[in-house]
Amino acid sequence: MALIVQKYGGTSVGSIERIECVADKLIRFKEQGHDLVVVVSAMSGETNRLVELARQIDTQPVPRELDVLLSTGEQVTIALLSMALEKRGQAARSYTGAQVQILTDSAHNKARIREIDDRNIHADLAAGRIVVVAGFQGVDEKGNITTLGRGGSDTTAVALAAGLKAQECQIYTDVDGVYTTDPRMVPEARRLKRITFEEMLELASLGSKVLQIRAVEFAGKYNVPLRVLSSFEEGEGTLITYEEEEMEEALISGIAFNRDEAKLTIVGVPDQPGIASAILEPISDANIEVDMIVQNIAEDSTTDFTFTVHRNDYERAMEILNKISSNLKAREVSGDNKIVKVSLVGVGMRSHAGIASKMFRVLAQEGINIRMISTSEIKISVVIDEKYLELGVRALHETFELEKVS
Amino acid sequence: MALIVQKYGGTSVGSIERIECVADKLIRFKEQGHDLVVVVSAMSGETNRLVELARQIDTQPVPRELDVLLSTGEQVTIALLSMALEKRGQAARSYTGAQVQILTDSAHNKARIREIDDRNIHADLAAGRIVVVAGFQGVDEKGNITTLGRGGSDTTAVALAAGLKAQECQIYTDVDGVYTTDPRMVPEARRLKRITFEEMLELASLGSKVLQIRAVEFAGKYNVPLRVLSSFEEGEGTLITYEEEEMEEALISGIAFNRDEAKLTIVGVPDQPGIASAILEPISDANIEVDMIVQNIAEDSTTDFTFTVHRNDYERAMEILNKISSNLKAREVSGDNKIVKVSLVGVGMRSHAGIASKMFRVLAQEGINIRMISTSEIKISVVIDEKYLELGVRALHETFELEKVS
């Protein structure tokens, strides 16, 4: 008998029928003797509906009131799921973030959890109840409702699992685990049984939108075993833990890619201290997030400075560069919004030289030109032309034999 | 500068446009120097939508969870209204029932208010904010969300007005006040400037669905001047207070009527002690509410016992009477669901004899047969055939000169 925290996302509770399926599933778990704490999101579509109501009043609604509004989404789900459990004869009790209570700081719309009061939950579990908690929300010291930012229900689940010292935190979603790459692109893609928190972080931040980055960080920090599973199919999913002896010893765990990138280059600026910040400050002042940054030094004591941004921010970033380029004495500003980023991720990479050169060789053999390169300890990312995305990912998946269990 | 509590019902906040109108209206009041506490209902249709979601899971959902669900309706409105105020540069702050907090007993779905903590509200008013409170909801001692029962937002407003010692509690609705009778039936019907709590109670319970009965009782008990006004038109509305010297000295304030009645008679039962309860107990056990009760003693030591119920309960009540009639040695059971109740209401009635006889004479002159009569200190009710409803109400309105300001 173990304490398990489960989290069901918006699609998993997107209709009354699905809420009833989740109730049935929970009762089967409970019958296996587990203590269950369940975190749920708003029914799919509900958060967008609420945001749209707010937006009709104000495109920049007061953050405090936006939280009051959005938190109703999860509150509806906890009530409905608890009703469905009780209807089936299973005692249950719902809690809003404020009721638990999940104490956060006062940063509305992006609050961080400080502390969780688990007294009510322990009492309910002892009484045989399934505890149903609203994800994504909390309360600050003054009793104001806060939200953790979009998708924050994963974080709620992990924080509860950490606080309650749960055996596992299970994230139910619409995919059945973490794959070596997107199976829609590479049919041979394989579900990973286990990966490390670090690998998951790189995969999540590179576009495998299975888990929220903050939740993975949180799970890693508090060493909460995290499992991603499907709400709709049976299966073991993917377990995310720390590296262990018996773990799959793959060099590469997966290939992530991101189609939403655009790159901008400011060509031939004088190579002086402070030039990087002179370029990036106005970009960041415009609230544009920069992903990769590469700088090359040319022969003539000028430098080319290249960075990538989200494709939606490309036009605005280009305008800013054009404005500042003459002040910076730049020769030229250029850009490309038809590029993608492809990344190899794997903890095995640390101890093995030659991964990078193998990657570059494969791409060259396929006639794919690499536009940018950036590396970290467990990741190598390259920027290539959009049209080569599928070719590149498939070639890499085959070369590194990711379809095989190593 | 006075403290005013205003309440806006579901229709008044039924769309983003209407919420913005309410915001504009509030700012005009605020500019007149008033301190404002605003109570709002769920947007019209929202509570029904939520009830329907619950009903799909369970026709008798767990009361605690139904409250968690339904309370989101008002929470959405307080957030949107506060956003609209802030957007207009008017500082505002929203409060759920739990945040205020409005402490209630634990009777889910029909909780009663015990105490209101007004510290946050006073601090906000002092800081120049408009305070926006979710109607219809509260919290019990253990932190469970409760609701006051449908339409309970009026009660929230009155309770806040009493607690805050507000100068007036203004209920904004889709009618512009309380009328001498329904203007759709009698075009000459006149808006009353003032009536007493007692008269309002009789008018409300008899079908003028302007105000919730509990709210009127509450206002009377704590002597909170209550004003009914239109959200959509300018005007003074109707003020409901205790009887005062300068008040309109009308004999009759208004004529209420109720189309939803049905009557049942159990004929020729032995006139013995306990017979009334033997008839009504099985009716009340079936959760059928009884309105008027009349008993006549016949010559032959038997009695005829007649009562009225809501028309929806007619068939069920008839079944019950048929089942028990032989045990009660009744001669016959009869009924009629094509009847209506018409009532004259007025505090002036107390001191004036002859009202009843005048009423009966008018109806007789119009050829209307009276089926039942029941009286209280400030009310005379008669049951007549449905087809005579309009004729009767118009004749009474004219005879008692209700179109004239007395």
Q: Which of A64, A78, A87 sits opposite B58 (nearest CB)?
A: A87
Q: Which of B68, B80, B84 sits opposite A79 (nearest CB)?
A: B68
Q: What is the pLDDT of residue B251?
A: 77
Indicate whether B236 and B284 sit together in one domain.
no
- What average pLDDT does the segment A61-73 reach? 97
Indicate whether A148 and A262 sit together in one domain.
no
pLDDT bin (cut points 50, 70, 90) of residue A301 is confident
Indicate whether A319 and A404 sit together in one domain.
yes
Please indicate if any CB of chain B lies within 8 Å of the CB of A63: no
Cα B291 to Cα B308: distance, rounded to the nearest angstrom = 5
Indicate whether B209 and B343 sit together in one domain.
no
Indicate whether A165 and A256 sit together in one domain.
no
Indicate whether B266 and B305 sit together in one domain.
yes
Domain total for chain A? 2
A71 inside domain: yes
Indicate whether B108 and B127 sit together in one domain.
yes
Q: What is the pLDDT of residue B299?
A: 67
Q: What is the pLDDT of residue A388?
A: 95
Over the stretch A224-258, which tens digit does the pLDDT of each residue have?
Answer: 999 999 988 889 999 999 876 555 556 788 999 98
A214 vs B206, more confident: A214
Residues of chain B with pLDDT under 70: 1, 150-151, 205-209, 244-250, 298-299, 406
Q: Which residue in B345, B264, B346, B371 sits closest to B308, CA to CA?
A: B264
Domain boundary among A135, A155, A174: A174
- What average pLDDT does the segment A287-297 reach? 84
The CATH number given to whatever domain includes residue B159 is 3.40.1160.10
B406 inside domain: no
Indicate whether A21 and A101 sit together in one domain.
yes
250-279 in chain A: CB under 8 A from chain B? none
Kindly list the strands in the beta sheet with A145-147, ordered across the sheet, starting from the edge strand earlier in the chain.
Answer: A113-116, A102-104, A137-139, A145-147
Indicate whether B200 and B287 sit together in one domain.
no
Q: Which of B54, B71, B93 sits opposite A80 (nearest CB)?
A: B54
A329 inside domain: yes
B284 inside domain: yes
Please indicate if any CB of chain B lies within 8 Å of the CB of A69: yes
Q: What is the pLDDT of residue A247?
A: 53
CB atoms B79 and A94 under 8 Å: no
* Chain A partners within 8 Å of B143 (Cβ): 99
B228 vs A212, more confident: B228
Please indicate if any CB of chain B lies within 8 Å of the CB of A207: no
Cα B92 to Cα B96: distance, rounded to the nearest angstrom = 14
CA distance A171 to chain B (A): 24
* Chain A partners within 8 Å of B56 (Cβ): 16
Structure tokens at A28: 């089967």
Structure tokens at B373: 């009569």
ipTM summary value: 0.80
A193 inside domain: no
Burial class of residue B223 (count of CB atoms within 10 Å of its CB; 0-12, 13-18, 19+): exposed
**In this structure, are residues B80 and A57 in contact, taking their beta carbons and an 8 Å threshold?**
yes
Indicate whether B279 and B375 sit together in one domain.
yes
DSSP helix/strand/coil, A115: strand
Please determine, for residue A302, whether its predicted confidence score (pLDDT) is greater than 90. Answer: no
Q: What is the pLDDT of residue B295?
A: 81
- What average pLDDT does the segment A15-33 reach? 96
Over the stretch A316-358, which tens digit does the pLDDT of each residue have?
Answer: 999 999 999 988 888 899 999 999 999 999 887 877 768 888 8
Average pLDDT, chain A: 90
A324 inside domain: yes
Cα A379 to Cα A355: distance, rounded to the nearest angstrom = 10
The CATH number given to whatever domain includes residue B366 is 3.30.2130.10
Indicate whether B204 and B160 sit together in one domain.
yes
Domain region containing A364: 244-406
Q: What is the pLDDT of residue A108?
A: 95
Please indicate if any CB of chain A lies within 8 Å of the CB of B68: yes
Q: Which of B54, B71, B87 sits opposite A57 (nearest CB)?
A: B87
Please indicate if any CB of chain A lies within 8 Å of the CB of B102: no
Query: Residue B50's closest chain A neighbor by CA?
Result: A76
A217 inside domain: no
A187 inside domain: no
CA distance B144 to chain A (A): 8
Cα A132 to Cα A92: distance, rounded to the nearest angstrom = 7
CB atoms B57 and A99 under 8 Å: no
Burial class of residue B112 (count of CB atoms within 10 Å of its CB; 0-12, 13-18, 19+): middle
Please indicate if any CB of chain B lies within 8 Å of the CB of A336: no
CB atoms B53 and A76 under 8 Å: yes
**In this structure, are residues A298 and A367 in contact, taking their beta carbons and an 8 Å threshold?**
no
pLDDT bin (cut points 50, 70, 90) of residue A374 is confident
- What b/e sequence results for B255-291 when a residue is b if at least 16 CB atoms lie within 10 Å of its CB, and e otherwise? bbbbebbbbbbbbbbebeeebeebbeeebeeeebebb
Query: Residue A144's closest chain B neighbor by CA?
Result: B99
Domain boundary among A145, A174, A203: A174
CB–CB contacts below 8 A, A to B: 111
Indicate whether A282 and A368 sit together in one domain.
yes
Q: What is the pLDDT of residue A16?
A: 97
Domain boundary among A174, A194, A221: A174
Q: What is the pLDDT of residue B205?
A: 62
* Chain A partners within 8 Å of B72 (Cβ): 72, 75-76
Burial class of residue B4 (count of CB atoms within 10 Å of its CB; 0-12, 13-18, 19+): buried
Please indicate if any CB of chain B lies within 8 Å of the CB of A78: yes
Please indicate if any CB of chain B lies within 8 Å of the CB of A292: no
Please determine, for residue A300, whether its predicted confidence score (pLDDT) is greater than 80. Answer: no
